[in-house]
Amino acid sequence: MISATAIYVLWLREMKRYVRAKSRIVGSLIMPLSFLAFLGMGFNRMAVPGVQSGTNYIMFLVPGIIGMTLLFSSTMQGLSVLWDREFGFLKEIMVAPVSRLSIVLGRIAGGTTTSLFQAVLLLVIAVILGFRVRAASDLFAALAFMILIAFTFIGLGLVFASRMKDMQGFSLIMNFIIFPLFFLSGAFYPLQNLPWFIRSLSYLDPLTYGIDGLRAVLIRAHNFPLVVDFLAMGGFAALMLGLGAYFFEKSESV
């Protein structure tokens, strides 16, 4: 049975840990802001093949950088599972009289909130740098895609964290996975500029549809119909959350 109290307690714990770690907040924004500042401003006056007329490079880049932020922050939520296992907290909550599904949902809620906070903060900074949001309703649609991206990659992080016990090994494996996912997603460049055999791999990447959906609602530039982006991300999110919950329930607490 799902316990709302357990979900809330785990969510609150994650929020307190995040707010107290000021360096974590700043550090999570340094890389995306560096890409946005140097790539965005450096290529802003150049004509980028495949970018539709009337859309400068900063406008094109911002949804990709938001997707990158969500990808990195969400997958690395698995590290908190390994930290809790290392210091014994995971064992304590595993033997508590609550379902493991409640524990999974609490972790997902906390990870999603922190990832969304980083993404929204980055969007605010992007607006200061020249990005323009066309309508307030676009922000709500973009938020829906951000949540689906966060769900998808938090689930992926839980899958690997549930099967591993070494934090260093987890970081290496996740970097090996998330960088190809990032570069295949078209975050920096239009997908049509890629060779066909690489572009076909991009269609298997969940982040491709997340970033394309963000571009569709924020700048009206996209490769797929909006409904395809939404359904694809919804399917990937459900699949990865299901796998993450399954492997977490099967994992050992020590």
Residue that is written with structure tokens 């700048």 in the block: 219
Q: Is 106 helix (H, G, I), strand (E, B) or coil?
A: helix
- The dihedral built from the CA positions of residue 126, 212, 182 and 154, taken in this order, carries a sign that is positive
pLDDT band at 146 (very low <50, low <70, confident <90, very high): very high
Percent of the chain at pLDDT > 90 equals 15
Higher pLDDT, 97 or 197: 197
Sequence-distant (6+) residues with CB within 8 A of 186 are 64, 194, 202, 208, 211, 212, 223
Tell me the C-alpha distance between 149 and 230, whole Å. 10
Instruction: Look at the pTM and tell me if it is higher than 0.75.
Output: yes
pLDDT tens profile 62-104 = 899 999 889 888 887 777 777 777 666 666 666 667 777 777 7
Residue 49 pLDDT > 70, yes or no?
A: no
